[in-house]
A and B are shown apart, each in its own frame.
Chain A
Amino acid sequence: MAPMVRYVFERLGYAAIVVWGAFTGAFFLLYIVPGDAAGGLTMGASGGDVEKLLAEQRQLLGLDRPVLVQYWDALSGAVNGDFGDSIYQRRPAVDVFFEAFPATLQLAFLGLALAVVLGVTLSVVIELTSWRWLRETLVSLPPVAVSLPPFVVALLLVQVVAFKLGWIDAFGDKTLLGLLVASLSIAVAGGGTVAQLLTANLRGALSSPYIESARNWGLSRFDVVVRHALRNAALPVITALGTLIGVMVGGTVLTETVFSRVGVGRLIVDSVNGRDMPVVLIAVTVSALIFVTVNFVVDLIYPVVDKRIRMEAR
C-alpha cells in the first residue's frame, strides 16, 4: 500500500508542476510575442487617433502595468478559479471556455473512440485474413491515414455527406450523425496511428513462444489473435492514447472550422490571434489538467493490464 500511495502523491506533485508550467509558459509566451489585445480591439480604427485609442485601451485593460504584476494577478486569480473577463466578449473567460468545452470534448472523445475501433479492427483483420492481396492492401492503409491532414478528410466528408448526400447540414450540425461525421475526420489519422502500432506489436506477439503454445492447444486463429496476442500488444497503444488525446484536441481546431462547430479549438486560435489572455490561460490550464489526468490514469492502468508491472518493482 505504502509504495502505491507514495507513487500516487509523487505523480500528483509532478502533475501540479506541469499545470503551473503550462500556465506560466502560456502567459509569458503570449506576453513576449508582439502585439496585445488593445491592438486587436482597435484593429481597423481609422484617423489620427489610433495611438490615443491604443493607449486608452491599454490602460483600461491594465496592460500598461508591469508584467510581473499582471502575471501575479492572473496566477492568483486562476488559483481561485477566476480567470477574468474575455477581452472581446466581455464576460468571464471561464464561461466562454466552458460553453465551448463540452462540444470539443464530445468531438475529441468520439474521435478517439472511433480511432481505437478503426485501428484495432483494421489490425485484427490484417492478422486474420488469409488472402494475401487483401492483407497487402490493408497494411498499406495506416501510413496513408496517418499522413492525411484532418482538414482534407473533413472537406471531403462535407462534400460527400453534406452537399452530395444531404444527410447532415454543412455547418453547425448538432445531430448525432453530424457529430459522428465530424469526429470521423479526426479519427482517421488517429486510427492510422493505432493500427500502425498494433500491427507491429501483434506481429511480434504472434511469433512469441506463448502464442505457439496457444496454437498447440488447438485454439482458433481468431481466439489466438484476439484473446491472447491482442492483450499483450495493446500496452504501447494505451501509452499512445495519452498523446493521441493531444492529437485529437489539435485536430478539433480544423474540424471545428470546416464543420462550423462551436468549440475550444476555434476558440483558442481566435484568442491567441487576438491576444485574449484570459481565454488563452483558461484553455491552456484546462488542457494541461486533462493531459496530466490522462497520463496519471494511464500510469495507474499499467499494473492492471500487465501484471508484470508491480509497484515493488520501482
Chain B
Amino acid sequence: MFSLRQRGRWRLLAAAALVAVLASSCSTGAGAASAPTAEADKAGGTLNIGLSFEPNGVDAAVVNQVWRTVARALTDSLVFFNPETKKVEPWLATKWTVEDSRIYTFTLRDDVTFHDGTKLTSEVVKENFESLARPGIHSSAKTIVEGIKEIRTPSENVVVVEFEEPNAAFLVNLSRAHAGIVSAKTAEAPVEERQKAIDGSGPFYLAEYTPNQRIVLKKREDYDWAPAYFKRSGPAYLDEVVYKIIPEDSVRNGAVIGGEELQFIYWVNAKYVPQLKAAGLTISETVNPATGTEWPVNTSSKFLKDVRVRQALQHGIDREEFTKLASGGYDKVATGPLSKANPFYSDQSQYLTYDPDLSKKLLDEAGWSTIGPDGIRVNAAGERLSLRFPRDGAAEQVVQEQWKKLGIELVLDPPLPAEANEKLLSGEYDLAYWYHSTPDADVLRANYGVATGSNRSFIGRNDARGQELDKLLQQQNTVSDPAQRQAVVDKASQILVEDAYELPIVNDTDIWAYQPSVHDIKAVGLDQYLYSAWLSDK
C-alpha cells in the first residue's frame, strides 16, 4: 500500500510542481468516441471524483500539492497550451507580442469577470504576478515570475512583462495551473487564507472545502471565455463537481466500480487496470508531456565521475522489461531525455539501447574487471561497485536486478518525504529521480542547468562536456526562433544521454478509470479539464 501511495503522491507533486499539457496522440480524453448528443441534453448533473489524499489547499499558486483538476476548474490562465497543435493559444489574453524572449506584451479580453463579480484588468494581472513573488509562497509559481524586471500597465487591457534576461519558456509556463489568474482580493490575501479559498474566473467556483473530506465546485452560469480548443462557449455542462478524499486504493476502486459514489478516478495504478476493465469501466491514458521518469546521475560521486561507468549503467537498463514489470506495459519506453509528447522531443534511442555486453566491456575498461565473491565488481583499490538510490519500490527493484547481472550493486535507501528535497539536492546519493510535466524543453535546464537550474547531475567546473551541456541548456531559453531553439535542445538532449548525465527510464502515463456515462473530460498534459465534461446518465 505504501509504495503505491508514494508513487501517487510523487506524481501529484511533480505534476503540481509543473503543470500542464500534452500529446496530440493522447489528448482524446474521456468518452471521445461517444455518439452525438444534443447540447441541451449534455447539461446538468454532478460528477463525483475520487482523490487519494488531502492537498492542504485549493490554490495552486501558493500550495504545491494542489490537485490540478481542481485548480484548473477554478482559474483560467492568460494563455492555453493546445495539446493537439502543441502551440500556445489565446485564453484570457487575446493576443501578445514577444521581443527577444524578454519583453512580453499581452492584450487581455475585456469581458472576463471573477466569481466575486470584479473585472479582469491589466492591474489585476500585475497584482497576480507580484503576489507570486511574495515571501511565504512555496510553490513552483514563484519560479515562473522569477527574473521579472518590471510589470507595466499602459492601459486597462494591456500588460507588459519585462524580464532581466531572455526567458523563452515564459509563455508555456503561463499556461500552467500555478499561473492561473485570481481576483485582486485573492491575490492580496495572505497565503493562509488563499490556500483555503480562491476566487478565479474559471468555469466553476469553490462552493465547499472541507479538509480531508470533500471539495465541492459549482458551475458558473456566466462563464463565456473558454479557449478556442474546446470549440464551444458558454458555461460548463456539469452543475457540480464533488471531489471525495479516499486514501485507500481498494475503496476508491470499489466505489468507482459501483458508480454511485464515484464516477471518475485518475492516477490509477496499472495493476488495478484489469480489475477495473473487467468491471465495465472505461480506461484511458495520457503520456506525460515533459520528460517522464528519469534518473539524474551524480557525476561528482566517486564512481560515476567516469563516463564509462555511467554509460554502462545507461546500456544496462532493459527498458522494455522495465515497463512490463513495473507498470504492466502502460508506461512507454523512454527514447530520449524528453517525452515523445514534448514539442521539443528528439529521438536519442541510439544511446539508450539495452546492451549488457557493451556495459560489461565499459566496466572492464574503467577498471572494474574483477568480480568479487558476492558477484559485485571490485576495483584495484578493493572498493565494491555499489551505488545508492533514494527510492525503494517495485520499479526500482527491476533495475536493481538488471544491474546485479552486470556486477553492479544498487542499494535502495529512500529518505522520508519531508527530507526528500533536501537529500536529493545534497549530492549524497549516486543517482536520484525526477519527474516533470511542463511541456517545454526548459524542464531540462531546470533539472540539469549548473548556473540557473538545480544541477541534479552535480556537473563540476572541470567537467568540459558538462559545461558545454550547461551552455546549451542556458542558451535554449534565450532563442526565440523555434527551429534554432530545437537545434540547441537536440544537441543538449544528445549530450545528456550519450554521456549519461541522466538515465531516462520511461515516459509514464496517467491512467484514468471512469464510468461509461462520463464523457469528454479533456487531458491537457497531465491536467484534467472539466469544462467540456458531461454525463449521459444523470
Given the known inter-chain contacts A60-B136, A258-B248, A260-B246, please indicate yes or no for A46 contacting B143, CB distance below 8 A. Answer: yes
Contact with A along B448-482 (1 / 0, CB 8 A): 01001111000000000000000000000000000
Given the known inter-chain contacts A54-B421, A54-B422, A170-B251, please indicate yes or no for A48 contacting B64, CB distance below 8 A. Answer: no
Contact with B along A26-38 (1 / 0, CB 8 A): 0000000111110
Given the known inter-chain contacts A39-B419, A51-B425, please indicate yes or no for A44 contacting B248, CB distance below 8 A. Answer: no
Given the known inter-chain contacts A35-B415, A48-B452, A275-B418, please indicate yes or no for A260 contacting B17, CB distance below 8 A. Answer: no
Given the known inter-chain contacts A46-B18, A46-B446, A48-B454, please indicate yes or no for A40 contacting B135, CB distance below 8 A. Answer: no
Contact assessment for A45 and B138 in the assembled complex, using a CB-CB cutoff below 8 Å: yes
- What separation, in Å, do the CA atoms of A81 and B406 have in the docked complex? 60
Q: Is A11 an interface residue (CB 8 A)?
A: no
Q: Is B244 an interface residue (CB 8 A)?
A: yes
**Nearest-Cβ distance from residue B51 to partner chain A, whole angstroms:** 10
Contact assessment for B416 and A50 in the assembled complex, using a CB-CB cutoff below 8 Å: no
Contact assessment for A172 and B13 in the assembled complex, using a CB-CB cutoff below 8 Å: no
Q: Is B261 an interface residue (CB 8 A)?
A: yes
Given the known inter-chain contacts A47-B140, A50-B454, A155-B250, please indicate yes or no for A171 contacting B255, CB distance below 8 A. Answer: yes
Given the known inter-chain contacts A35-B418, A270-B54, please indicate yes or no for A158 contacting B254, CB distance below 8 A. Answer: yes
- What separation, in Å, do the CA atoms of A42 and B192 have in the docked complex? 15
Task: List 9 additional contacts besides A44-B64, A54-B421, A275-B418; criterion CB under 8 Å.
Answer: A35-B416, A46-B17, A47-B453, A60-B136, A163-B258, A170-B261, A260-B245, A260-B251, A262-B212
Contact assessment for A53 and B138 in the assembled complex, using a CB-CB cutoff below 8 Å: yes
Within 8 A of A (CB), among B92-150: 135-136, 138-140, 142-143, 146
Q: Which A residues are CB-close (under 8 A) to B436?
A: 46
Pairs across A and B, CB under 8 Å, 22 listed = A44-B14, A44-B64, A45-B17, A45-B140, A46-B14, A46-B140, A47-B446, A48-B446, A51-B425, A88-B56, A90-B192, A90-B196, A158-B251, A162-B254, A169-B261, A170-B254, A170-B255, A171-B251, A260-B248, A270-B54, A273-B416, A274-B417
- When C-beta atoms are compared, the residue in chain B nearest to A41 turns out to be B138
Contact with A along B393-422 (1 / 0, CB 8 A): 000000000000000000000011111111
Contact of B138 among A42, A155, A163, A274 (CB under 8 A): A42
Q: Which A residues are CB-close (under 8 A) to B139?
A: 45
Q: Is A129 an interface residue (CB 8 A)?
A: no
Contact assessment for B254 and A273 in the assembled complex, using a CB-CB cutoff below 8 Å: no
Contact assessment for B421 and A50 in the assembled complex, using a CB-CB cutoff below 8 Å: yes
Interface centre among A172, A260, A262, A275 (most CB of B within 10 A): A260
Q: Is A239 an interface residue (CB 8 A)?
A: no
Q: Which B residues are CB-close (under 8 A) to A10?
A: none
Q: Which B residues are CB-close (under 8 A) to A39?
A: 418-422
Given the known inter-chain contacts A35-B422, A45-B64, please indicate yes or no for A258 contacting B416, CB distance below 8 A. Answer: no
Q: Which B residues are CB-close (under 8 A) to A45?
A: 17, 64, 138-140, 142-143, 421
Contact assessment for B17 and A90 in the assembled complex, using a CB-CB cutoff below 8 Å: no
- What separation, in Å, do the CA atoms of A266 and B56 have in the docked complex? 14
Contact with A along B251-292 (1 / 0, CB 8 A): 100110110010000000000000000000000000000000
Contact assessment for A47 and B454 in the assembled complex, using a CB-CB cutoff below 8 Å: yes
Contact with A along B165-186 (1 / 0, CB 8 A): 0000000000000000000000
Q: Which B residues are CB-close (under 8 A) to A56?
A: 135-136, 138
Contact assessment for A35 and B417 in the assembled complex, using a CB-CB cutoff below 8 Å: yes
Q: Is B375 an interface residue (CB 8 A)?
A: no
Contact assessment for A273 and B418 in the assembled complex, using a CB-CB cutoff below 8 Å: yes
Q: Is B247 an interface residue (CB 8 A)?
A: yes
Q: Is B213 an interface residue (CB 8 A)?
A: yes
Contact assessment for B419 and A35 in the assembled complex, using a CB-CB cutoff below 8 Å: yes
Q: Which B residues are CB-close (under 8 A) to A172?
A: 213-214, 244
- When C-beta atoms are compared, the residue in chain A nearest to B135 turns out to be A56
- What separation, in Å, do the CA atoms of A37 and B418 have in the docked complex? 7
- When C-beta atoms are compared, the residue in chain B nearest to A163 turns out to be B254
Q: Is B309 an interface residue (CB 8 A)?
A: no
Q: Which A residues are CB-close (under 8 A) to B214?
A: 172
Q: Is B65 an interface residue (CB 8 A)?
A: yes
**Nearest-Cβ distance from residue B339 to partner chain A, whole angstroms:** 16
Contact assessment for A34 and B416 in the assembled complex, using a CB-CB cutoff below 8 Å: yes
Given the known inter-chain contacts A39-B418, A162-B254, please indicate yes or no for A49 contacting B146, CB distance below 8 A. Answer: yes
Q: Which A residues are CB-close (under 8 A) to B246?
A: 170-171, 260
- What separation, in Å, do the CA atoms of A53 and B146 have in the docked complex? 12
What 4 A-B pairs come out closest when comparing CB atoms? A35-B419, A44-B13, A90-B192, A35-B418
Contact with B along A244-277 (1 / 0, CB 8 A): 0000000000000111101000100010011100
Given the known inter-chain contacts A35-B417, A169-B261, please indicate yes or no for A44 contacting B54, CB distance below 8 A. Answer: no
Contact assessment for B191 and A90 in the assembled complex, using a CB-CB cutoff below 8 Å: yes
- What separation, in Å, do the CA atoms of A91 and B209 have in the docked complex? 15
Q: Which B residues are CB-close (under 8 A) to A33?
A: 416, 419
